[in-house]
Amino acid sequence: MHGTLPATQALSAVIAEHAGMAADIRPHLSGAALHEVLDYWESLCGGRRFPARADFDPMAVRKHLPVIYLMDALADGSYRYRVVGEMISEFFGAGSPVGRTPQELFGDTAEVALAPYRRVCAEGCLYTHTASAVWLYKNRSYVHYQVLLLPLGDSEARVDKILAAVEFVAESVAAR
């Protein structure tokens, strides 16, 4: 089940969401960082549905590291933040999320974060959503963000990591 999700499945604060393969997702990406991370991820696939974590070299997307995070998708169905860029850590507003689970960070609202991760793992698909989030970061004001989730796995049988990149949209850009 790929493509645009029905409104009844929309997550809180989500403006739009899409799932599928790279060709399905690409037209819905708005920021250069997301396109560049997706291009790099695609270059690693080499005919596979998705690359392995070992294929991913963070230095290849160095300029985007502040807005990238890596999530462990554990065999028991749980998720844990493995590596989190500086801007993402500040967005969470609860110190570094490294080593923590969505449940530890978000409590009763963790399902908002977990539903897309579960979908990426179950289907081996790419996922993106745009959501509202009024946020101030180093004197810049943002009104929404777009997240791109990319599966990683040692075999096509199981996604064991999710590579994520986030593009924050400033008030000044959204007003155009």
Span 115-170, pLDDT tens digits: 999 999 999 999 998 877 765 555 556 677 889 999 999 988 899 999 999 988 76
For the entire predicted model, the pTM comes to 0.85
Span 33-79, pLDDT tens digits: 999 999 999 999 988 999 999 999 999 999 999 999 999 999 999 99
Residue 89, token pair as written in the block:
């850590």
Vertex 44: Cα angle to 3 and 61 (nearest 5): 95
pLDDT at 10 over 50: no
What's the CA dihedral at 94, 31, 72, 99 to 10 degrees?
-20
The band of 27, judged by pLDDT with boundaries at 50, 70 and 90, is: very high
Is the CB of residue 53 less than 8 Å from the CB of residue 169? Answer: no
pLDDT of residue 42: 96
Nearest one of 143, 14, 25, 167 to 88, comparing CA atoms: 167
What percentage of the chain's residues is helix, strand, coil (to nearest 5)?
Answer: 40, 35, 30
pLDDT at 8 over 60: no
Q: 99-134 in b/e burial notation, b at 16+ Cβ within 10 A?
A: ebbbeebbeeeeeebbbbbebbbeebbbbbbbbeee
